[in-house]
Amino acid sequence: MSATTERIAGVLAPVVTPFKPDLSPDPERLVRHTRWLLSQGVGLAVFGTTSEGNSLAVEEKIELLNRLLDAGIDPARMMPGTGSCALPDAVRLTAHATGLGCAGVLMLPPFYYKGVSDEGLFRSFADVIERVGDTRLRIYLYNIPPVSQVPITLPLIERLLKVYPGVVVGAKDSSGDWDNTCAYLDNFAEQGFDVFPGSETFLLQGLRRGAAGCISATANVNPRAIARLFATWQAPDADAQQLQLNQVRDIFARYPMIPALKAAITHYGDDASWAAVRPPLLALTDEQRVLLVNELETAGFAIAGLRAA
Amino acid sequence: MSATTERIAGVLAPVVTPFKPDLSPDPERLVRHTRWLLSQGVGLAVFGTTSEGNSLAVEEKIELLNRLLDAGIDPARMMPGTGSCALPDAVRLTAHATGLGCAGVLMLPPFYYKGVSDEGLFRSFADVIERVGDTRLRIYLYNIPPVSQVPITLPLIERLLKVYPGVVVGAKDSSGDWDNTCAYLDNFAEQGFDVFPGSETFLLQGLRRGAAGCISATANVNPRAIARLFATWQAPDADAQQLQLNQVRDIFARYPMIPALKAAITHYGDDASWAAVRPPLLALTDEQRVLLVNELETAGFAIAGLRAA
């Protein structure tokens, strides 16, 4: 494995994590799903929020990364989530992912304490960088205040870029706030800071303003269409493509997102095992799943090829 | 070690965790501080919010527990924090603490996802209980919505008490909302559910309403006076004692609490090593520490005996 010099870009799926009946991770199903996602043209942001990444122990994540690599999944297409409340956990997983040759890591700030200072967050990221001590490390900051409740502010990004140029190289913005995504882009994109909106809803307007792609939950089920908009965003039908993406996204957004994605994979992949989530999440009820599939079919949507995956 | 039949009660300190210069935990200093706390009449809620418990990896917490037991600290006086975002982490640490004979565990709900259902939280706690599978397990639910953002509701408690009587046996309420503490007490105390307000500010009114004690950050520095009020709350001077406790608490509450406690221990214990916190927290500045100590001395407060500990 060699260090990647070209940055990862485009559409990434925060890959949903399959569980066995005892709720242990299911590496075989994960490998199959990641292969299918790659075949559809999207990269792999494993261990994100959609992946129930914080519901997994560090050992489980290390084992899953190893299994993916053993199965021949290309680490240059991977951006695992490695942030943690505990510094040693973040260091351990970040070092492992970097050592495997992953394109980068998507790093949450420590998210237990609220109202912490930018100085404290700076030191959190700095400590991980210094302790990992690997020139291949590429960090993407993960801003998801609706969940983490710990925002990544503009002054924090500015300071990290100044002190760790070439290491802190981008961000996923899941604020859901287009103004914040614009602020990230307008302040830092020119310096080579790669901004990924956290939903394909913002893909076209993001690309028009300099975004590097997007990292979106629904890329788990609608990867090819989202990847196509990324590839053809300057084509005349780009706005029409965006509207179609939004239609699918809007359906999933009417349900608890993570269980809904798994329910769709269960249905279109004809594999009931995919429904399981770890608590505190709950799988969709049978009624919810039927409603979801009806809505998707009414909209003319089906996950082509998932069954074969 | 035998299973404790009598429940832990009284005043517990969420024991602050000392770190070495490299930010690894310092077991020797932790043993000394816990010995001193026990000598002052308070129990040990290690790995709480004040302990930076979520800033520690599970392995670090297991190692620290082992070191405390090796040093002869009585597990019947301990209620370690064991909740985690990841089920296997919560199971592993809870099983270890229970196996060591700890009086109980103080359990946060999984706190990454927000807006989760009571059903999902019930399954989280139920899964830990079933997987630990130890009749000695005693769980105290940890309600701290200002930090965790995941409240422990009355219906959730009611259901857990119904399904797991004798296992789910109490709660720490750090909501800061006296009405919520009253609701816990009025609904469940009669069934033997032990409620510990999360601050000594509520100790006297709590005891008058049936609380089992309190678990409070400032018990790290003012243990004897808080324990005295617990022991003598029906004495004529109880209200006067409460006012004195409040005065000390109010001073600490004007600073970031965890760094302020460590700064006080640094000062009164004459041991600069205690100041270190893990990011994202920050140690008090020299100016803040001087101000804090001045305020404490103006109020006639000193941590008696800490230097000798």
Closest to A217 measured CA to CA, from A231, A233, A196: A196
Cβ neighbours of B284 in A, within 8 Å: none
Q: Do B147 and A113 touch (CB under 8 A)?
A: yes
Instruction: Please give, one letter per residue, the 3-state secondary structure of B159-170.
Output: HHHHHCCCCEEE
**With pLDDT > 90 as the criterion, what percentage of chain B qualifies?**
94
B67 exposure class (CB count in 10 Å sphere: 0-12, 13-18, 19+): middle
Q: Do A57 and B280 touch (CB under 8 A)?
A: no
Please state the pTM of the whole predicted model.
Answer: 0.96
Q: What is the dihedral of CA A67, A71, A74, A78, to 10 degrees?
A: -30
Counting one residue from A and one from B, how many pairs have CB atoms under 8 Å apart? 108
Give the DSSP letter string of chain B: -----SPP-EEEE-PPPPB-TTS-B-HHHHHHHHHHHHHTT-EE-TTSTTTTGGGS-HHHHHHHHHHHHHTT--GGGB--B---SSHHHHHHHHHHHHHTT-S-EEEPPP-SS-S--HHHHHHHHHHHHHHH--TT--EEEEE-HHHH-----HHHHHHHHHHSTTTEEEEEE-S--HHHHHHHHHHHGGGT-EEEESSGGGHHHHHHTT--EEE-GGGGTSHHHHHHHHHTTTSTTHHHHHHHHHHHHHHHHTS-HHHHHHHHHHHHTT-GGGG---TTS-PPPHHHHHHHHHHHHHTT---TTTTT-
Instruction: Please give, one letter per residue, the 3-state secondary structure of B287-304.
Output: HHHHHHHHHHHHCCCCCC
Least confident of A228-242, A293-307, B231-245: A293-307
User: Is-cis flag, bond preceding B280, omega within 30?
Assistant: yes
A24–chain B nearest CA distance, Å: 9
Residue A5: per-residue pLDDT = 59
pLDDT digits (tens, 9 = 90+) for A221-261: 999 999 999 999 999 999 999 999 999 999 999 999 999 99
Residue A3: per-residue pLDDT = 43
Residue of B nearest to A113 (CA): B147
Q: Do A57 and B120 touch (CB under 8 A)?
A: no
Residue among A112, A117, A282 with most chain B CBs within 10 A, to mutate: A112
Residue among A49, A85, A92, A131 with most chain B CBs within 10 A, to mutate: A85
Cβ neighbours of B146 in A, within 8 Å: 114
Residue B303: per-residue pLDDT = 74
pLDDT digits (tens, 9 = 90+) for A47-91: 999 999 999 999 999 999 999 999 999 999 999 999 999 999 999
Residue B305: per-residue pLDDT = 60
Residue B126: per-residue pLDDT = 98
Cβ contact A167:A191 at 8 Å: no
Residue A201 has pLDDT above 70, yes or no: yes
- Token pair listed for A191: 């310096």
Cβ contact B24:B52 at 8 Å: no
Q: Do A57 and B89 touch (CB under 8 A)?
A: yes
pLDDT digits (tens, 9 = 90+) for B240-289: 999 999 999 999 999 999 999 999 999 999 899 999 999 999 999 999 99
Dihedral sign for Cα atoms in the order A214, A215, A217, A221: positive
Closest to B158 measured CA to CA, from B130, B186, B179: B186
Average pLDDT, chain B: 96
Residue among B84, B113, B144, B255 with most chain A CBs within 10 A, to mutate: B113
**With pLDDT > 70 as the criterion, what percentage of chain B qualifies?**
96
Dihedral sign for Cα atoms in the order A230, A234, A238, A239: positive
Residue A49: per-residue pLDDT = 98
The label of the residue with tokens 């985690």 reads B84
pLDDT digits (tens, 9 = 90+) for A128-163: 999 999 999 999 999 999 999 999 999 999 999 999
